[in-house]
């Protein structure tokens, strides 16, 4: 295996006096989709958010152990948080377009970075929307409000917005949970195409979704990593009895 894009080593994390993650060690390989599965409350989203330090904004958050992004300590004091988050983009469970035009949503990151070359920005706009499988649907209304898009389009817009900052890694926190089957299929197509360019870490409650899109899958239960491996192997021949019971629907 090549060097990990993301890595947790002996990670303990939680809030106040409650441990959510308990001694988690996980490597996420580059240019692949890795799915995090497990029942509600098992620590999937907490683990995901550790990698771009989104948990730091939540009251009482603490962590021990190592968190590495491309081999670099995510808490390296010389690494500006904004720089880390440009490298590690994130799309949330609920689509959160800004009350701005489609154009200004996508170009929000480059604007913050001070980019003002119109030709360059137009290129970023088009390529980001194309990569998010949205260009053909919105190219004639780029100056319309993003709030007028459908739910599935809004979620793909949020992916385009993240891609416009040229991340190496994309964190997706149940991005299809509020979408209908048609919009979910379109989003999954987008995610699979992106894996050729970026590393994707995906939290999903949908086991079929993990089976469809992920190269590797990690199963968490009660804050512990039970099993991780190639998705086909984990679903068809899990090593751990607990994994088998979860994926066959005996609990969760």
DSSP string across 119-160: HHHHHHHHHHHHHTT-HHHHTT-TTSBGGGS-HHHHHHHHHH
- Which pLDDT band, with edges at 50, 70 and 90, does 3 fall under? confident
In a domain? residue 1: no
Residue 44 has a pLDDT of: 97
Q: Per residue in 111-132, is it b (16+ CB within 10 Å) or e — as a string? A: eeeeeeeeeebeebbebbbebb
Per-residue pLDDT reduced to its tens digit, 64-94: 999 999 999 999 999 999 999 999 999 998 8
Q: Domain containing 239 — which CATH number?
A: 3.40.50.300
Which residue intervals of 169-240 are DSSP H helices? 181-194, 207-213, 231-236
Residue 1 has a pLDDT of: 46
* Cβ(187)–Cβ(155) below 8 Å: yes
In a domain? residue 137: yes
Residue 2 has a pLDDT of: 54
Cα torsion 49, 196, 152, 83: sign: positive
In a domain? residue 190: yes
Average pLDDT in the 46-75 region?
96
Q: Calculate the CA dihedral of residues 108, 196, 218, 54 and round it to 10 degrees.
A: -10
**Structural domain count, the chain:** 1
Distance from the Cα of residue 211 to its chain's centroid: 16
Give me the percent of the chain exceeding a pLDDT of 70: 99
Per-residue pLDDT reduced to its tens digit, 134-179: 999 999 999 999 999 999 999 999 999 999 999 999 999 999 988 8
Cα torsion 156, 185, 203, 212: sign: negative
Distance from the Cα of residue 25 to its chain's centroid: 18
In a domain? residue 64: yes
* Cβ(66)–Cβ(11) below 8 Å: yes
In a domain? residue 117: yes
Average pLDDT in the 129-135 region?
95
* Cβ(26)–Cβ(10) below 8 Å: no
Residue 113 has a pLDDT of: 87
In a domain? residue 252: no
Average pLDDT over the chain reads 95
Q: Strand order of the sheet with strand 216-221?
A: 88-91, 169-173, 199-203, 33-37, 216-221, 224-230
| Residue 23, both tokens | 């001694």
Residue 147 has a pLDDT of: 97
Residue 200 has a pLDDT of: 97
Q: Which of residues 113 and 147 earns the better pLDDT score?
A: 147
In a domain? residue 95: yes
In a domain? residue 169: yes
Q: Which domain holds residue 209?
A: 6-74+81-247
């Amino acid at each position: 295996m090549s060097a990990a894009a993301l890595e947790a080593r002996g990670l303990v994390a939680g809030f106040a006096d409650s441990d959510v993650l308990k001694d988690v060690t996980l490597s996420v390989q580059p240019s692949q989709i890795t799915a995090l599965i497990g029942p509600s409350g098992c620590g999937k989203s907490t683990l995901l958010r550790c990698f771009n330090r989104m948990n730091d904004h939540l009251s009482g958050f603490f962590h021990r152990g190592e968190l590495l992004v491309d081999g670099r300590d995510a808490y390296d004091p010389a690494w500006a948080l904004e720089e880390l988050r440009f490298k590690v983009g994130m799309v949330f469970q609920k689509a959160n377009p800004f009350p701005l035009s489609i154009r200004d949503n996508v170009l929000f990151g480059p604007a913050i970075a001070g980019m003002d070359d119109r030709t360059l920005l137009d290129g970023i706009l088009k390529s980001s929307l194309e990569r998010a499988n949205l260009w053909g649907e919105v190219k004639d209304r780029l100056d319309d409000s993003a709030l007028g898009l459908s739910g599935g389009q809004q979620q793909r817009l949020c992916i385009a917005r993240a891609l416009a900052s040229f991340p190496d890694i994309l964190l997706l926190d149940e991005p299809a949970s509020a979408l209908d089957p048609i919009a979910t299929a379109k989003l999954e197509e987008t995610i699979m195409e992106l894996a050729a360019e970026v590393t994707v870490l995906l939290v999903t409650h949908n086991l079929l979704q993990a089976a469809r899109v992920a190269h590797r899958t990690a199963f968490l239960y009660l804050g512990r990593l039970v099993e991780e491996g190639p998705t086909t192997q984990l679903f068809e021949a899990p090593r751990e009895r607990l994994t088998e019971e979860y994926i066959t629907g005996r609990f969760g």
